[in-house]
């Protein structure tokens, strides 16, 4: 019997519908920030520091201002207010005020009639520098006499240090039959989104500031623009046009957004700033280099006893999300496997390099590498199959992790089964010819961070819905579409709930004037939070519309289904009307049709210790990967032949788009495992800020990724859905590392796994073994 809670069997959810945005993408009609121009628009260029650490004695802008075509120059003194994405660690100025902290730190910005003129003017800004000693390596930054980056900061060069302990760590180690201990190094990497950051500032004479920006966090940018520039909160508008990829690299305010706003206010004209690719590398906020010491134990029958993790995090010049990074690096290795006890000690330090931040799998991809390789070593020590060792320790739904996160749904066991089967694991593991091997790894990730970045009791996400008599539905939401299919997700839910075809749905997102607040496209939160908000609003509307139709048909509302473009009587399916007719009936009876929906997270999903909220989420996704790797025995060149990736995203709302996230994640993990390094030289210069030097895989490099969806019904997610955007990246790197061990019997515990490292390790092993 149908109930009011279940309006009809799913008709749209779970289908492989095209992404509603892809039509614009394939025709070149999708207008990104740099595709927009405005009458009278000026172009801006930043002046950047050539020194890794230097005091600004003075800045002479006279020559630049005297150039024909130059309209304004701003420096740090024009915006002397600190900002930062985390309210407790704000340590950046829009333009450096007293000193520059890395090569590329912005100190001035010019606006001119075109880009070339602005570039000439930027070169004519003269900064009188007092070069200071710099610190590039994180250990050196910890030395008592190290140069201090942030002089007022009370913890020296330490952004944040976290020590937490759960259970009886030493007791559990004492009860262990085997303990593996090792050092791991994860090199920094960067996002490499194809669209360089771009922003346009527009000042309207009635006192309204509009900033159009390729940001993932329009709402947080809105707040910071208001605070830093002193424009009232209600007179700032942020518009996020379609953005050309982000991956975490556009998830906090940047210098360019403040500069175009300020220059627009100074000149009264629209101002655009487009980063060069080189500047994107300076903006960075990519994956933190981490030095990790991991100890992991198990009993003889394979019960995991204790894990002890000590991590030094190289943060670069500014805090960015670093407070969260320090917690995530420790908090997010405690599932999918049950640990008897766990201790973490994570410290993030400042260095004179581009600031690190959140990249896909923020803070947790690095320790996941160390943890999963430790597990592989432990399996080897115990003489157990690595998949079996994992199976013995999988958490159950309803269980709390050792650090007290509640796991409400978990499909990890099935993820292991699927990759084991699909890869032919049993026939391959330990049985392939020398030089070829398979490796396994597992992981989990949050479906949105449980708390907003600034403490408040308002919803994390909200939508408004408008139904009109044409049969069209419009949904408004502040979420951030950046290619992941967030707009398509909203359309899917509206279609499912109100029965309209996708073509009759308009989605308007990312405009703080027109859409209700959503906190942004980060922490894999969008489907969980905006999806739930949309589901609530749409279901509310649907309930009202069904009641009107039911009254007309003189039947109970539960018999009315809105699906497939019709309102249909479920017990007499010949009786139906077009959905637009149902909307008109409802509008005639109820007046204008609209609804709102909002979502906030449950507050009982974590422990109440200090830091227990960071890493907590309404739901967690789970992943298992098997990688097959061959190693050229003469050259050491590793080749990833194939990746099998099984991911528990709860109920996949659109399997095609979920697969896209899994494949894209595995690709990015592969890239970090084999190719990519974001490197800064000892003198502070970037090693190669270009897409030629920073080696992103091409179609020829990338291995085939076989993606598999494991369905669970999460009680919190919309229709049971969980995240898919970041989780699947975590397993890739350790799966490849473990496959290398199976192939040639050596452990490469330092990323990336280059031919040089492999050749050296294989030679050492031969010499050691005498063979």
Q: Which residues bind another protein (CB under 8 A)?
A: 16, 18-19, 21-32, 34-35, 63, 66-69, 112-114, 116-117, 120, 124, 191-196, 242-247, 274, 276-277, 482-485, 656-657, 659-660, 663-668, 690-692, 696, 698-700, 702, 704-705, 707
Distance CA 127, CA 97 (A): 12
Give least dist CB 443 to another protein, A. 17
CB nearer to another protein: give 417 or 701: 701
Strand partners, 466: 474, 594
Which region holds residue 546: left if phi is over 0, alpha if psi is between -120 and 50, else beta?
A: alpha
CB nearer to another protein: give 169 or 441: 441
Sign of CA dihedral 334, 337, 338, 340: negative
Distance CA 678, CA 354 (A): 10
Give least dist CB 196 to another protein, A. 7
Cβ atoms 250, 214 nearer than 8 A = yes
Distance CA 348, CA 312 (A): 6
Give the count of beta carbons closer than 10 Å to the beta carbon of residue 157.
22
CB nearer to another protein: give 18 or 232: 18
Give least dist CB 579 to another protein, A. 24
CB nearer to another protein: give 446 or 668: 668
CB nearer to another protein: give 1 or 26: 26
Q: DSSP 3-state assignment of 456? A: coil
| Helix pair angle (365-382, 322-331), 10° resolution | 20
CB nearer to another protein: give 390 or 678: 678
Distance CA 238, CA 480 (A): 12
Distance CA 611, CA 450 (A): 12
Which region holds residue 357: left if phi is over 0, alpha if psi is between -120 and 50, else beta?
A: beta
CB nearer to another protein: give 165 or 690: 690
* Burial of residue 624, with CB atoms counted within 10 A of its CB: 0-12 exposed, 13-18 middle, 19 or more buried: buried
Q: Which helix (H) or strand (E) holds 729?
A: helix 727-730
Give least dist CB 445 to another protein, A. 18
CB nearer to another protein: give 124 or 323: 124
CB nearer to another protein: give 20 or 324: 20
As a whole number of Å, the CA-based R_g of the chain is 27
Give the count of beta carbons closer than 10 Å to the beta carbon of residue 63.
13
Cβ atoms 42, 269 nearer than 8 A = yes
Report which of 585, 603, 645, 615 is spatially closest to residue 449, judged by C-alpha positions: 615
CB nearer to another protein: give 62 or 235: 62
Give least dist CB 532 to another protein, A. 23
Give least dist CB 572 to another protein, A. 36
């Amino acid at each position: 019997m149908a109930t009011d809670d279940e309006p009809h069997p799913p008709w749209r959810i779970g289908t492989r519908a095209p992404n509603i945005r892809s039509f614009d993408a394939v025709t070149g009609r999708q207008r990104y920030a740099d595709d927009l121009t405005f009458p009278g628009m000026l172009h801006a260029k930043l002046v950047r520091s050539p020194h890794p650490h230097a005091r600004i004695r003075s800045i002479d802008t006279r020559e630049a201002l005297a150039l024909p075509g130059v309209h304004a120059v701003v420096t740090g003194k024009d915006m002397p207010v600190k900002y930062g994405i985390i309210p407790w660690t704000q340590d950046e100025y829009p333009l450096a005020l007293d000193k520059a902290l890395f090569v590329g730190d912005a100190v001035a910005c010019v606006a001119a009639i075109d880009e070339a003129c602005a570039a000439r003017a930027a070169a004519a800004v003269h900064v009188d520098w007092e070069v200071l000693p710099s610190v590039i390596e994180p250990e050196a930054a910890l030395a008592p006499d190290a140069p201090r980056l942030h002089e007022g900061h009370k913890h020296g060069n330490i952004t944040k240090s976290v020590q937490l302990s759960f259970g009886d760590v030493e007791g559990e180690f004492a009860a262990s039959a085997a303990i593996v201990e090792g050092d791991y190094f994860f090199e920094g990497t960067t996002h490499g989104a194809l669209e360089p950051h771009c922003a346009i500032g527009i000042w309207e004479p009635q006192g309204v500031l509009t900033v159009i920006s390729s940001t993932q966090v329009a709402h947080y940018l809105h707040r910071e623009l208001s605070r830093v520039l002193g424009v009232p909160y209600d007179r700032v508008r942020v518009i996020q046009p379609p953005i050309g990829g982000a991956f975490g690299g556009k998830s906090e305010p940047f210098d360019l957004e403040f500069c175009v706003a300020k220059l627009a206010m100074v000149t009264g004209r629209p101002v655009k700033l487009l980063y060069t690719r080189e500047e994107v590398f300076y903006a960075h906020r990519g994956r933190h280099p981490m030095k990790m010491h991991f100890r992991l134990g198990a009993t003889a029958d394979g019960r995991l006893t204790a894990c002890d993790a000590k991590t030094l995090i190289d943060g670069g010049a500014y805090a960015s999300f670093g407070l969260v990074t320090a917690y995530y690096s420790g908090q997010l290795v405690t599932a999918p496997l049950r640990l008897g006890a766990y201790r973490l000690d994570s410290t993030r330090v400042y260095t004179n390099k581009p600031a690190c931040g959140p990249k896909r799998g923020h803070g947790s991809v690095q320790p996941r590498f160390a943890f999963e390789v430790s597990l592989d070593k432990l399996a080897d020590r115990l003489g157990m199959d690595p998949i079996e060792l994992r199976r013995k320790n999988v958490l159950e739904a309803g269980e709390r992790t050792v650090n007290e996160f509640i796991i409400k749904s978990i499909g990890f066991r099935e993820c292991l089964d699927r990759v084991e089967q699909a890869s032919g694991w049993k026939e391959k593991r330990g049985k392939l010819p020398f030089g070829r091997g398979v490796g396994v790894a597992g992981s989990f990730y949050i479906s949105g961070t449980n708390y907003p970045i600034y403490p408040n009791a308002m919803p994390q996400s909200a939508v408004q819905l408008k139904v009109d008599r044409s049969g069209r539905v419009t949904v408004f939401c502040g979420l951030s579409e950046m290619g992941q299919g967030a707009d398509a997700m909203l359309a899917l839910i509206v279609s499912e709930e109100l029965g309209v075809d996708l073509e009759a749905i308009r989605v308007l997102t990312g405009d703080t004037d027109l859409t209700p607040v959503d906190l942004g496209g980060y922490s894999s939160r969008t489907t969980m939070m905006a999806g739930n908000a949309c589901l609530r609003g749409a279901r509310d509307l649907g309930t009202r519309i069904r009641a009107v139709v039911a009254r007309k048909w003189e039947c109970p509302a539960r018999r009315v289904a809105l699906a497939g473009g019709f309102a249909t009587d479920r017990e007499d399916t010949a009786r139906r009307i077009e959905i637009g007719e149902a909307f008109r009936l409802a509008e005639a009876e109820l007046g204008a049709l609209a609804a709102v929906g909002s979502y906030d997270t449950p507050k009982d999903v974590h422990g109440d210790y200090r830091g227990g909220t960071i890493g907590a989420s309404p739901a967690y996704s789970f992943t298992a990967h098997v990688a097959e790797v061959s190693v050229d025995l003469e050259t050491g060149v590793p080749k990833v032949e194939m990746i099998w990736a099984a991911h528990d995203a709860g109920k996949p709302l659109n399997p095609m788009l979920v697969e896209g996230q899994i494949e894209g994640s595995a690709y990015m993990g592969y890239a970090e495992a084999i190719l990519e390094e974001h490197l800064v030289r000892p003198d502070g210069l970037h090693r190669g800020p270009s897409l030629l030097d920073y080696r992103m895989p091409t179609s020829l490099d990338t291995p085939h990724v076989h993606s598999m969806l494991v369905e669970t019904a999460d009680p919190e997610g919309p229709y049971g859905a969980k995240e898919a955007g970041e989780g699947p990246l975590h397993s890739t790197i350790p799966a490849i590392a473990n496959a290398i061990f199976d192939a040639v019997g050596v452990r490469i515990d330092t990323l990336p796994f280059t031919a040089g490292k492999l050749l050296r390790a294989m030679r050492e092993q031969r010499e050691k073994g005498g063979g």
